[in-house]
Structures are given as C-alpha cells and as structure tokens.
Chains A and B, each alone.
Chain A
Amino acid sequence: MMAEVVLIEDIEASATRLGIDLSSVDLDSIQLPRGEDFGIKSDDDDDLYQEDPLEFEAGFGNIIVVDNLPVVPPEKFEKLEGVIRKIYSQIGTIREGGIWMPVNPDTQKTLGYCFVEYNTPQEAELAREKTNGYKLDKSHIFAVNLFDDFEKYMKVPDEWKAAEIKPYTPGENLQQWLTDEKARDQFVIRAGSNTEVFWNDPRQLMPELVHQRQYWTESFVQWSPLGTYLATVHRQGAAVWGGATTFNRLMRFAHPQVRLIDFSPGEKYLVTFSSHEPSNPRDTHRIVINIFDVRTGKLMRDFKGNVDEFATGGSGGVSGISWPVFRWGGGKEDKYFARMGKNVISVYETETFTLIDKKSMKVENVVDFSWSPTDPILALFVPELGGGNQPARVSLVQIPGKEELRQKNLFSVSDCKMYWQNNGEYLAVKVDRYTKTKKSTYTGFELFRIKERDIPIEVLELDNKNDKIVAFAWEPKGHRFAVIHGDGPRPDISFYSMRTTLNIGRVSKLTTLKAKQANALYWSPAGRYIVLAGLKGFNGQLEFYNVDELETMATGEHFMATDIEWDPTGRYVATAVTSVHEMENGFHIWSFSGKLLYRISRDHFYQFEWRPRPPSLLSAEKEEEIAKNLKKYSKKYEAEDQDVSMQLNEQDRRKRKMLQEQWNEWVTKWKQLHEEERQLRIELRDGVVSDEEEEYEAKEVEVEEVLDVTEEVVAFDLDQE
C-alpha cells in the first residue's frame, strides 16, 4: 500500500487559490477527526491504534480511577479531596477540576472511589504504577486503574472458555536471501521518503531492486545482527520485516513514541526505548525501555523511570542516555544483559529476566564496562580515586559467578578505553596517562590475552608515546590491529601483531605508514584487507591496503564521503555521502581491492546498511580445504563472470548502436528541414547567402611594410666561422 505523495508545491498552490496564508497556519493545532485517514493509508494504524489509546488526547488515557477510598459524608468531602490532591499532585499536574468523587444520591455519602484527570497519559500511567496498593490506612489500600482499562476488564467474559488452538501454518523461510545463486549480498538504503532493499550486483555493475516502500519507517531502519529481520520504527512501536520473497511484516512491538531500538546479538530480543517529556517542565524526562521476544512479540521485561536513573555513565546519546542502555553479553546465545548504575553493574539473565543472584554487582565508582563479544566476561573500568591514593583499575569478571578473573592497577590515568577483538581472544585497553607534571597526557596500551592461561597482560607503547591516538581497530578474527597516531595534519598508521615469528605470546610491530590522509580504519570482516579512510577534513580519501603483503592495492576518493561499510563477506566496500551534506548525496560500491564498480546518486540520502549474514556453518577444516582449493572452486564463478561481462558488452554495444541510430534520425530530419528553410533564411538576412553550414575560411595575411631603411657596414670576422 503506497500513500499518494502530496507535493508541498501543490499544497502551496491550493493555499494561494483559497487565499490562505500558510505561514499563519499552526499545523499542530489542527485536529483531524479520528478514524479519518484522508486517503493516506498506513499499515500500522489499525490494531495498534486500538491497543494504545494512551497517546491520543481524545481518549481517556489521562484519567485514573482510585478505588478503596474511605466512604465519607458531605462535611468530610473537602478533607478527603485534600488528601487525594496531595498524593496525586506529587506525581503530575492534575487538571483544573480534575478530581471528581461520585456521590450516592440516597446516602449523600461518597461511593469510595474517585477519578483523577492528569494533563498527559504518561502521568496517569505513572500515578497508576506508583499508587496502586498505596496504604492510606489499614483498611484502605488503593486500587488504581486507568479509566480506559475498565472497558477492557468489562469485556472479559464471565465464563472461562478454552483458548482456540489455531492450526499450525509453516512460516516462510526467513533465510531465503542466503540461498541466492549468485551469492550476492543485500543492502538497504533510505533516500527521501523511500526505503529500498537491493541486491548488490557487481557483475552487472548496478544494484537490483528487491523491495521498496514509501514511508516504510518514520525515522530509521535497522537489520537484526544475523540479517533475518529488518526493523522499522513508528509512532506506535517497532516492527520487523522479512521473509522468503518479499518483505512481509513478521511482528509488531507496541511502544508509543519509540525512538531507539537495539537487537540482542543473537537477535532473540529487541530492546526499545522512548523518552517522554514531562508535563511539568521542572520534572525530568520519563524513560520507558521494553525488551521483547522478537519471534513471539511477547514483552519480556520493561524498565521505567526518570532519566537520571538511566543516565549514569557514558555521555551523549538521547536526553542524557547513552545508548544502548543495556549491553548484551555471552555471545550469540543472548544469555545476559547488563547496565551500569551509580556504583553498580546490574546483570540480568534471560531465563527469568531478573537480576543474577537477585542483586546488582557493587563496583564503587565504575565508569565504563564492556562485554567480551563471545564469552560471559565483563570488563570494568574504575578510575583513580582519592587523588591517586587508590589507583585506577581494569578488571575482568566472569558471569554468572561474578569472580574476578584478572585485574590490573593503573597509575596516573586520565582516561581508558576498551577494545575487544571480535573473537574475544584479545582485549586492548587504551590508557591515557598524565605526565609527571600533569600538564599533558601520553598513551599506552594494555593488551590482555583472554584465552591464555592466567590471562597475561602486555604493555605496548608507541614509538613516540606522545602521539595522539586517532583511531584503533582489531583485525576481525585475526591477531593484528591498526592504530592511527600522530598530532600533525597527516598522521601515521602502524600495524601490530599479537605474535612474533618466534614467540606467539609477544606483540610486534609490522610496519608504520608515514604521513597518511586518514582518520578512520575499516577492516574487512574477513580480515587481511583494510580501508584507510580520510573522512571529514580529508574529504573522502580512501586507501585500500593489504596487511598480509603490507602494500597498498589502490587509492581512491569518494568526495565528501561520510560513511564506509564493508559487505558482510569482505568482498565489497560501500562508501556513502549522506544528507549531512546537501550535495553529492549517494553511494559508491568498490571491490575489496579498491576498484570503483558503480556509483548511485540519490538526493536526501539518509542511510546505507548491508544486510548482515549469520556466521558460516562450515567447519574450520572445511573452510581451510576451500581456501586451499580455491582455484578449483572459483573456476565456475570466473566462467560465469566472463559470460556476464560479454553479455554486458554486447548489451552495451547494442544500446549505443540504437542510441546512435536514433540520433542520426533526428539529425537527418533536422538537416532536411534546415535545407528546406534555407531560402527563407537567406531572405531574413536580406540576401546574405552565407549560412552556418557554408565553409568559411579565415586567412592570415602577412603584411610587410618598410618603415625605414638604414645601411650599415658590418665588420666581417673570418675567425668566427
């Protein structure tokens, strides 16, 4: 279902026709009748609309019903109302005349319940949450419900009926895309109001459209980590899409005003986040985080609270929140998730969605933590305390046992940053330390070998330890890393290996590339190749580097490039200019070796994202076998490549020939008309015969003019000859 686009020009035109000054119209003040879609179809309205009247002013979502109040005679009305007002105005702003206590007309006494009307549904929701079960005294324990819920409760049938068991219908193959015969990869882009999924077809030197929709999402789209789902974000919640042939909606997750989403690494769970403005500006934003089971759509756990309850640690993000609030651990099994609070790390497990050991881990002053990408190991960083009396420390903690596996004390630390290698074999901690004078800092690395006995730590300092670190990146699945360092406008790039030829337990430098126009590192997901990129100030310089051979394969430029992403197989690289710039919007696709394959221009280009692939099912031995016999396997593909290439050439040749023929037709026609009009043209020029087509020749005439003649006797020197 596609909505009809109404161009702003058309709107302006009709406004002019009707004599309306658009600038004086407050669009937000216009209330559309409920249920009227003005011909603009949306997929997401229907049932969510019904489930969630909270966000609509027109509903009664902002009213709560407080039951189990004392039954009082008229003379005590005022006192009771005062008590209720006192309790409920602490939670939010009660509307004027917003407390109403019905009275029994026979007894003139209250009925033991009242209605409280807030400004917003969020306040009402909060009031229900906080005061349900509130003990006014022993015999009056509040029962608080949202007014809107009553309708729901009334509908509950009085008699229990067995749930209808629906017959099993087999679902679609959600991994169909992995069986593409040409072994191509998909990517999604958003440009203007369109979201489009394409095959990257490097043989055809262009993308092939898989699916597109207008207004598919209201802010962004996101692939799940294994590529099974494409998530979209809407006012009413998030949705995931996928399937065998086209993108069907597989599940919806109701969460009004959702702003951010995050999948667990094994894509079992979806975390959604919203932040609600308080009706009283003195209050802080209210945060709602939901964790859903992606396949069943079931809400597994929700977290609600004020923004400061979630804003500890980290910086940036939305309204003081560092996203993701919950970080997932334990690899693809999605076993644990954790968040940091003040002096605590709260680790939850997904069996019960409760805290491990029913309590958070106390870690005084913890400021950062990260999970190993593969194992249930937490790395924590605690800064220096007491003016250096208590050193800073990095520790590794095993979950669920919470034993400390390794700890390292660090002195004179100003900051720390942790980088895990994606197989969880190594952890690099970048440590910025103060010099003795405390006036400046220098940087070193603490390298942890997680998989080795006792987790040995090695300290690495750069050749010039005063160099600023611009970027750091581990080789995926590998033992190498790259560092951009230096203070000048052209920094150096060094490559290190965690092994040396004789001792695999020792780090060694492979090479340093001097004075590079680069400030970002993009390793191929398969390792071995890396793109050294100069974004922002360097305007999109690209160097495709082979770390095995330590040589540059190619250099290129995608002018103004803002984003770079490798395809999940490490065969292609996408570079994009997104709408942070007005011009040059679009993307380029390169081969891993730096050959520009094709370019696509799109205005208002917002997003490019490759569809991830699940890990390979091949065993390490099988992979090695294939690598060894690559020639044998690649033969088939090379032959196909050649066929396609010849076909393309042929197509291209035919297209050009056709264009040329068409053009020749035009020219013949024009020439004929031009000739027919020749006489008329001459008349228009008063008989000047010369026409454009007539050959005219400019002659250079050299004129010699004798100005003066003087005679002079020149001495003739024989010796000079």
Chain B
Amino acid sequence: SFRVSRSGLDRGSGGRESRGAMRPILMKGHERPLTFLKYNREGDLLFSCAKDHNPTVWFADNGERLGTYRGHNGAVWCCDVSRDSMRLITGSADQSVKLWNVQTGAQLYSFNFDSPARSVDFSVGDKLAVITTDPFMGLPSTIQVKRIARDPNEQSSESVLTIKGPQGRINRAIWGPLNKTIISAGEDAVVRVWDTETGQLLKESDKETGHQKTVTSLSKSADGSHFLTGSLDKSAKLWDARTLTLIKTYVTERPVNACAISPLLDHVVIGGGQEAVHVTTTDRRAGKFEAKFFHKILQEEIGGVKGHFGPINALAFNPDGRSCMFQTYIFYNSVILHSFSSGGEDGYVRLHHFDPDYFTIKM
C-alpha cells in the first residue's frame, strides 16, 4: 500500500505526543547505511537513499514511512524531487538513474550508463537534470545533462551535454543560478564551475585556500546564492555560487561527510566521522559522530547533536521552518519548532526537533 501526500494535505491530526527537547524520532526502514536525504519543497516529505537498493519516502513531521521505490539493483547514492513533488530522480551504483512517480511509486524511466551514477539534481523548472557518473573500468568520470520530458512516454535517453570530468570521482554536481552553470566537486578537492551551454570550465577553486582533500558533500542555500562544501580535510567551506568566492571556513576535528545550511537561521550543520571500518575503539564517540552546528557568519561552533552510531553520511534541513513552527505550536502546544534530519552509517534516519533555546541562541 502506498499513501503519499502533497503539501500537507493528508496529514493525520491525532495521536502525536509532545516531544521533548531535541529528542529525535528514529525512522527505521533502511537495512544499510544511509547515503543521502532530501526534503521536498514544502518540507512535509523526506526522501532517503541508502546502500540498500530502496529509496524511501517518509512524513517529515512524525517519521511515518510512506513507501519505498523499488527497482534499483545497487546502492542508491543520491536523489532529487521536483518542485511540485511529482517526480523523484535517483542515481545508483547499478549504473542507472531512474525517474519515479512520487505518489504511486511507479518507475517512469531509466537512464542507463556504463558506470555508477553518483549524483543527480533537477534544474530550476525541473526540465533538466544534471547527473554525474563515476570513473569506472578505465572510463573517466562524467557530468551529463538530460532533458526531462513532461510526459514520460516522450522521455529520451540522449544527453544534452556531456563533460568529461577531471581526475577522480565527482561526488556532487548541482545547478548554479538560472541553470547557467553547473557546480561540481569531488575527489580532487577542487570545486569547479562549468558553462551549461558549452561545457567549458569557467572557474576553479584556489588550491591554497580551497579544500585539501576529497569534497564529500555540497549543499545549496535556499535561494541558491551560496553553497556549502564538506571535505575529508576536516572542514566545510561556504562559497558564492556566482563568483566561486570563498566566503567562510568552518573547521572541525573530523572528516566531514555531510553538510547543510539552515534555511531559517544563520547556522550551518556539519556531520561526519571516520568510517566504521577505521574505528578501532569501542566507544561510540570514538569517531565523534555528532552533527555539529556552526554560526554561519561568525564561524564559531554552537553545539552538537549526538546519537548516531557510526559516521553521519547525510544531512538535510527542513526547508520550511517557518510554517512548521507555526502549525506545531497551535495544534500541539509543544516545543517542536524546527527540524532537520540526519542519516548515518547505522541505517537509521533521525528526525531531530529543536527546542526553543535553539532559536534564541545569542552569539
């Protein structure tokens, strides 16, 4: 059975207990480590990808699982959802990128590649998708742009643009403002901006001031004007999406696997840690798997959220902090004000709700 909502229509209204401060809701559904999390625009749905083959959709406010998208035959690395919450696109190690009907769970189309697909991102207007493929069996990594047809029957597998990537894996590629550019980053630690018309390289981050090790994650601000990159060099960096100017650096004690920008406050959140295989100590904090909050402007650490066993691989802020805050307050008179979710190596998605103090942190 598959039940899905659009823009908060189908929200159940009873039986929710009030939640304590910052106590997360545990969303158990994946059997393998999480790889990616994505909210829809309204923030009522949360899509999760994992190394098991089944992307899953959840109600964002109570953690109820709505269903899974079945059809991939390998780890799913990345997903994106269209602005109208109708389409889901997923990229997988099974060398395919698939389009799904969000509501019914039906597979609409499958793009097939010669190597694993690492990252997917819909353009403004959802008519294009940028996909990256891994270097594989002598093939270099690529950045490819596909046109997404309104009617799945008219969908073509042709790439509008193919950029042969730089050395190593590209971990993430996203659209720049007005779809004019594509911003990519990956194993070679360089952030690059490409022209979407010509495929030309427009800008490269500076080797000195930029990241020193693999960029693992890349996350845009709500308006797309700036973005945050997380790297194994134990830092996250904030960049201007139009000029690729480095604006801020957030330094932590462990490799960064995931990062996100708060849509509501001047905060960024960074998650990471060592991979489980490298952790020899029995203490679960040995790799420090907390998500850490930094003040976006002052670059100072504000706090952390504990509770993950294993490193954090994925993080996402609820894009709709304001309305969420309003509704919960009226109906449940509780303290749920804002939430973000994090996914870790242990295969759980945790939905963290902030207590009121979070919103009044004075720096």
Contacts and interface: CB of A to CB of B under 8 A. Distances in A.
Chain A interface size range? 20 to 34
A559 B288 contact: yes
Nearest to B278: A582
Contacts of A696: 42, 323
A539 interface: yes
Contacts of B11: 700
Interface in A632-675: 656, 659-660, 663, 666, 670, 673-674
A686 B126 CA distance: 10
A237 interface: no
Given A560-B286, A659-B298, A674 B124 contact: no
B139 interface: no
A659 B297 CA distance: 7
Contact of B222 (A660, A673, A692): A692
Contacts of A659: 297-298
A677 B266 CA distance: 24
B242 interface: yes
Given A601-B251, A685-B83, A685-B125, A698 B323 contact: yes
A680 interface: yes
B331 A700 contact: yes
Interface string A567-585: 0000000000000001111
A539 B285 CA distance: 10
Interface string A688-709: 1000110011101110000000
B287 A583 contact: yes
A583 B323 CA distance: 40
Interface in B206-226: 222-223, 225-226
B223 A583 contact: no
B363 A656 contact: yes
B83 A700 contact: no
Given A673-B225, A700-B327, A684 B123 contact: yes
A674 B327 contact: no
A666 B247 contact: yes
B13 A673 contact: no
Given A670-B225, A700-B327, A684 B125 contact: yes
A586 B125 contact: no
With most chain B CB atoms within 10 A of its CB, the pick from A674, A697, A700 is A700
A430 interface: no
Contacts of B251: 601
B304 to A, nearest CB: 12
B179 interface: yes
Interface in B292-307: 296-298
A670 B226 contact: yes
A676 to B, nearest CB: 10
A560 B274 CA distance: 15
A673 B222 CA distance: 14
Contacts of B247: 666
Interface in A384-440: none
A584 B253 contact: yes
Nearest to A603: B234
Given A583-B253, A674-B225, A702 B297 contact: no
B13 A700 contact: yes
A674 B224 CA distance: 9
Nearest to B300: A656
Given A670-B223, A685-B124, A698 B179 contact: no
B8 A700 contact: yes
A660 B225 contact: no
Interface of B, helix, strand, loop or mixed by DSSP = loop
Contacts of B288: 559, 583-584
Interface string A94-106: 0000000000000
A692 B263 CA distance: 11
Contacts of A582: 274, 278
Contacts of A509: none
Contact of B178 (A584, A677, A686, A698): A677
Interface in B77-92: 83
B31 interface: no
B321 interface: no
B147 interface: no
Interface string B312-334: 00000000000100010001000
B124 A684 contact: yes
A681 B176 CA distance: 12
A663 B297 contact: yes
B32 interface: no
A697 B7 CA distance: 10
A672 to B, nearest CB: 10
Contacts of B222: 692
B331 A677 contact: no
A681 B297 CA distance: 28
B274 A666 contact: no
Contact of B274 (A583, A697, A698): A583
B18 to A, nearest CB: 17
B240 interface: yes
Contact of A660 (B7, B254, B297): B297
Nearest to B243: A669
A677 B242 CA distance: 12
Nearest to B241: A670
B177 interface: yes
A559 B285 contact: yes
B178 A681 contact: yes
A681 B296 CA distance: 27
A77 B285 CA distance: 76
Contacts of B154: none
Contacts of A656: 298, 363
A535 to B, nearest CB: 13
Nearest to A698: B8
Interface in A330-368: none
With most chain A CB atoms within 10 A of its CB, the pick from B13, B222, B323 is B323
A682 to B, nearest CB: 9
B292 to A, nearest CB: 13
Contacts of A684: 123-125, 127, 178-179
Interface in A65-89: none
Interface string A231-247: 00000000000000000
A585 B124 CA distance: 43
B124 A681 contact: yes
Nearest to B44: A698
A559 B284 CA distance: 12
B283 interface: yes
A371 B323 CA distance: 75
Interface in B315-363: 323, 327, 331, 363
A260 B9 CA distance: 74
A685 B83 CA distance: 10
A686 B148 CA distance: 14
Interface in B238-261: 240, 242, 247, 251, 253-254
A686 B8 CA distance: 24
A189 B11 CA distance: 58
A419 B235 CA distance: 46
A680 B274 CA distance: 43
Contacts of A692: 222-223
A673 B283 CA distance: 49
Contacts of B178: 677, 680-681, 684
A688 B125 CA distance: 9
B125 A674 contact: no
A688 B178 CA distance: 14
Given A656-B298, A688-B83, A692-B222, 20 more contacts: A539-B285, A583-B254, A584-B253, A586-B253, A603-B234, A660-B297, A666-B226, A666-B240, A666-B247, A670-B223, A677-B178, A684-B123, A684-B124, A692-B223, A696-B323, A697-B323, A698-B7, A698-B42, A700-B11, A700-B13
16 contacts: A559-B288, A583-B274, A583-B287, A583-B288, A601-B251, A601-B253, A656-B298, A670-B225, A673-B177, A681-B178, A684-B125, A685-B83, A688-B83, A692-B222, A700-B8, A700-B327
Q: What are the 6 closest A-B residue pairs judged by CB atoms, nearest first?
A: A670-B225, A684-B125, A698-B8, A663-B297, A685-B125, A684-B124
